[in-house]
Amino acid sequence: MTPIGIFDSGYGGLTILKEIRKELPQYDYLYLGDNARAPYGTRSFDVVYEFTLQAVKKLFSAGCRLVILACNTASAKALRSIQQNDLPQIDPSRRVLGVVIPTVEALGEISKTGNIGVLGTPGTISSGTYDIEIAKFFPRFRTVSQACPMWVPLVENREYDGDGADYFVEKYVEALFAEEPETDTIVLGCTHYPLLLQKIERQVAGRATVVTQGGLVAKSLADYLHRHPELEARCSKGGAVNYLTTENPEKFTEMASIFMEQPVRASRTDL
Ligand code: DGL
């Protein structure tokens, strides 16, 4: 079996996997959540890179020829080094893709005024990746960003629909609007954040369009496979999904079944 690998620090990548499976149900997938070491968002460049490379190697050794970093923090801090420095040595025929570019590419069709707000982990925001990529694709756009350090812990600890989450949703959304009241498009630049979508939408209250990444990444992957038939032919097509976690598999199984809205069975792995 040569599944498509999907990696995240924890549960957030499931929001991407869910949309990818809707778009491309025919392929096999192997999800890896490094739950034991999540969150990554407050970790340094070196550490995120080291952990992400370990995860990519694990997915490669499990047979994946294509790995999606379904994590903005890893995409922002590790993707380029892995693509440029590690892949040529490990196996130049394998591919690792991220979630930032597919998201940025879509903004031209979504924003009317070009005032973009980005919400992400401290790591993603301080890397400046979104500002840089948005400026490359759309030089006239203006980007403001806001780190939301409490949102991933709320999701990982299953507090995303509790009352306690309301305070931090209001805090970060209003900080973004305070910096740029004219923001017309808000990118949820962290794959955990769709779990907070209802609360975020309520707080935004129609002032801007809130962009989630799953559908955009799924469409971009479909397009990528279409453009790379040699890689596509090597992806196995049994419609199966397997899950690996570095934490307790029972805990992962329970949470992931809620996120995926179907029963999930996970196995534990070391990286
Ligand atoms: N889901 C992740 C992201 O998209 C990472 C969150 C974290 O581990 O802090 O950034």
d(C-alpha 21, C-alpha 39), whole Å: 25
Predicted confidence (pLDDT) per residue in 101-111, tens digit: 999 999 999 99
Task: Give the relative orientation of helices 249-260 and 14-23 as an angle to the nearest 10 degrees.
Answer: 50
* Ligand 1 pocket, residue 8 CB under 6 Å: yes
Say whether the peptide bond before residue 139 is cis (omega within 30 degrees of 0). no
Q: Share the mean pLDDT of the chain.
A: 96
| Cβ–ligand 1 contact at 200 (below 6 Å) | no
For tokens 């970093």, name the residue: 69
Looking up tokens 């990554």, which residue turns up?
Answer: 40
CB 38 within 8 A of CB 10: yes
Per-residue model confidence as pLDDT tens digits over 192-211: 999 999 999 999 999 999 99
CB 121 within 8 A of CB 190: yes
pLDDT at 1 > cutoff 90: no
Alpha carbon distance 149, 6 (integer Å): 23
The structure's pTM equals 0.94
Mutate to test the pocket of ligand 1, among 73, 119, 124, 217 (most ligand atoms within 8 A of CB): 73
d(CA 90, CA 121): 29
Q: Which two tokens stand for residue 246?
A: 């570095």
| pLDDT at 259 (0 to 100) | 82
Q: Tally DSSP H helices, then E strands, for the chain.
A: 14, 10
Residue 158 has pLDDT above 90, yes or no: no
CA angle in degrees (0–180, nearest 5) for 70-268-45: 40
Whole-number pLDDT of residue 248: 94
On the question of pLDDT at 270 being above 90, the answer is: yes
Residue nearest to atom 2 of ligand 1 (CA): 71
User: Ligand 1: does its nearest atom lie under 6 Å from the Cβ of 121?
Assistant: yes
Could you confirm whether 190 is annotated as catalytic? Answer: yes
With contact defined as beta carbons under 8 Å apart, do 76 and 187 qualify?
no
Residue 78, pLDDT score: 95
Q: Which of 64, 71, 148, 235 is catalytic?
A: 71
Mean pLDDT within 66-81: 96
- Whether 261 has a pLDDT exceeding 90, the answer reads no
C-beta neighbour count of 90 within 10 angstroms: 15
Residues 34, 247: Cα–Cα separation, whole Å? 7
At residue 81's C-alpha, the angle toward residues 75 and 86, to 5°, is: 120
Distance 229 CA to ligand 1 centre (A): 30
* Ligand 1 pocket check for 12: Cβ under 6 Å: yes
β-pairing, 115-120 vs 185-188, is parallel
Packing angle, helices 100-110 and 129-137, rounded to 10: 50
